[in-house]
Amino acid sequence: MTPGGGAYEGIIESLSGNYDFAPESVELRVSPRRKASTLTGANCGVTSNTSVHELLECPVCMGVMYPPIHQCPNGHTLCSKCQLKVQRCPICRHELGNIRCLALEKVAESLELPCRNQILGCQDILPYHRRLRHEQICRFRPYNCPYAGAECPVSGDIPFLVAHLKSDHKVDMHDGSTFNHRYVKSNAQDVENATWMLTVFNCYGHQFCLHFEAFSIGMAPVYMAFIRFMGDDHDAKKFSYSLEVGGNGRKMTWQGVPRSIRDSHSNVRDSMDGLIIQRNMALFFSGGNKQELKLKVAGRIWKELS
Ligand SMILES: [Zn+2]
Ligand SMILES: [Zn+2]
Ligand SMILES: [Zn+2]
Ligand SMILES: [Zn+2]
């Protein structure tokens, strides 16, 4: 695990910012097992419309063109994103101008296409406008990497992200629903170089991220621990967790509901939805000389009876 000093600001807030207009060919990170079973289906659904799809392929970025679709005076089409980037028609080199191709826009709007998350398991086939709306809330849409310390652009389904956390972020993985963690920092004053850690727990057939970190609220350093669920909000709510930190005759307990990793790490942190340990208390818990920070966090995750 690498310390991520001061990188909190860089966390990607949400998918929606660049999601609507991402080219069709965007690479989805899918666990190998899933890829094998659904790829064939993806191809079948599209075959009957192949020629229309070719018509709607932007010659510059190769993505599917959605309205507004532009064309050169000779009728060569290109997508609105690429139109902003090039001065001349990529086919005939004619000056582009600002000409829309309304006929093709109508074709694009009338097409029913599979949800872009088909490869991740979505079966829905929808007309253009509804499809864009659906894709933003599609429950199969990829998750962002839950690793918080650095800007990580990786997204994918849960099995892929679990493998990614393990191999690329060297995150500790634990089996079981109870845990006992120690966080030790030799210089308790040092919040600038924020300590934060991520541990993944594997229980009830799901994965849970335990985040522990230090940050400042105004001038006051604060420690925080919380759990996020690797899956949708709907499933996250089926679980509860408790965290307990103590030592030196004092104890604090937090009980909460894990937040889905659909909620960005910074969102959860800013809403303070977790165990918050003020610095004075953290030093009490650590005992000793007030120099070294030694926190013992015990926790448990359980499934609520529905
Ligand atoms: Zn394009
Ligand atoms: Zn042209
Ligand atoms: Zn979908
Ligand atoms: Zn990552």
Residues 175 and 276 occupy one common structural domain: yes
**Locus of tokens 């937090």:** 254
Which CATH number belongs to the domain containing residue 209 in this structure? 2.60.210.10
C-alpha to C-alpha distance for 24 and 187, rounded to whole angstroms? 49
Ligand closest to Cα of 143 equals 4
CA of 155 to the centre of ligand 2 (A): 36
Residues 226 and 252 occupy one common structural domain: yes
Q: What is the pLDDT of residue 290?
A: 67
What total of structural domains would you count in the chain? Answer: 2
Ligand closest to Cα of 75 equals 2
CA of 79 to the centre of ligand 1 (A): 4
pLDDT 10s per residue in the chain (306 long)?
444 333 333 333 333 333 334 444 444 566 665 544 443 333 434 445 567 778 889 999 988 888 899 999 999 999 999 999 999 999 999 999 899 999 999 988 888 888 989 888 899 999 888 888 999 999 999 999 999 766 789 999 999 999 999 999 999 999 999 999 888 777 666 655 455 688 999 999 999 999 988 887 777 788 899 999 999 999 999 999 999 998 888 899 999 999 999 998 888 988 999 999 988 888 888 886 667 788 889 999 999 986
C-alpha to C-alpha distance for 306 and 31, rounded to whole angstroms? 30
Residues 223 and 256 occupy one common structural domain: yes
Ligand closest to Cα of 133 equals 3
Residues 156 and 284 occupy one common structural domain: yes
4 in a structural domain: no
Give Rg (Cα) of the chain.
Answer: 24
Q: What is the pLDDT of residue 151?
A: 77
CA of 87 to the centre of ligand 2 (A): 11
Residues 101 and 154 occupy one common structural domain: no
Ligand closest to Cα of 69 equals 1
Q: What is the pLDDT of residue 166?
A: 95
Q: What is the pLDDT of residue 28?
A: 55
Range of the structural domain that residue 120 is part of: 32-137
Which of these three, 137, 172, 197, is where a domain ends? 137
Q: Which of 272, 246, 245 is nearest to 259 (CA)?
A: 272
Ligand closest to Cα of 120 equals 3
Residues 156 and 277 occupy one common structural domain: yes
Which of these three, 137, 164, 186, is where a domain ends? 137
235 in a structural domain: yes
Residues 171 and 130 occupy one common structural domain: no
Residues 283 and 254 occupy one common structural domain: yes
Ligand closest to Cα of 65 equals 1
Which of these three, 137, 162, 190, is where a domain ends? 137
192 in a structural domain: yes
Residues 39 and 159 occupy one common structural domain: no
3 in a structural domain: no
Residues 211 and 127 occupy one common structural domain: no
CA of 259 to the centre of ligand 1 (A): 37
Residues 25 and 83 occupy one common structural domain: no
CA of 268 to the centre of ligand 2 (A): 50
Classify residue 148 by burial, with Cβ atoms within 10 Å: 0-12, 13-18, 19+. buried
Ligand closest to Cα of 92 equals 2
Give the three-class secondary structure for 22. coil
C-alpha to C-alpha distances, 3 to 174, 197, 235, 266, nearest whole angstrom: 20, 8, 30, 17
77 in a structural domain: yes
Residues 82 and 108 occupy one common structural domain: yes
Q: What is the pLDDT of residue 197?
A: 83
Q: Which of 91, 92, 20, 106 is nearest to 58 (CA)?
A: 91
6 in a structural domain: no
239 in a structural domain: yes
CA of 11 to the centre of ligand 3 (A): 25
Which CATH number belongs to the domain containing residue 37 in this structure? 3.30.40.10
CA of 206 to the centre of ligand 1 (A): 39
1 in a structural domain: no
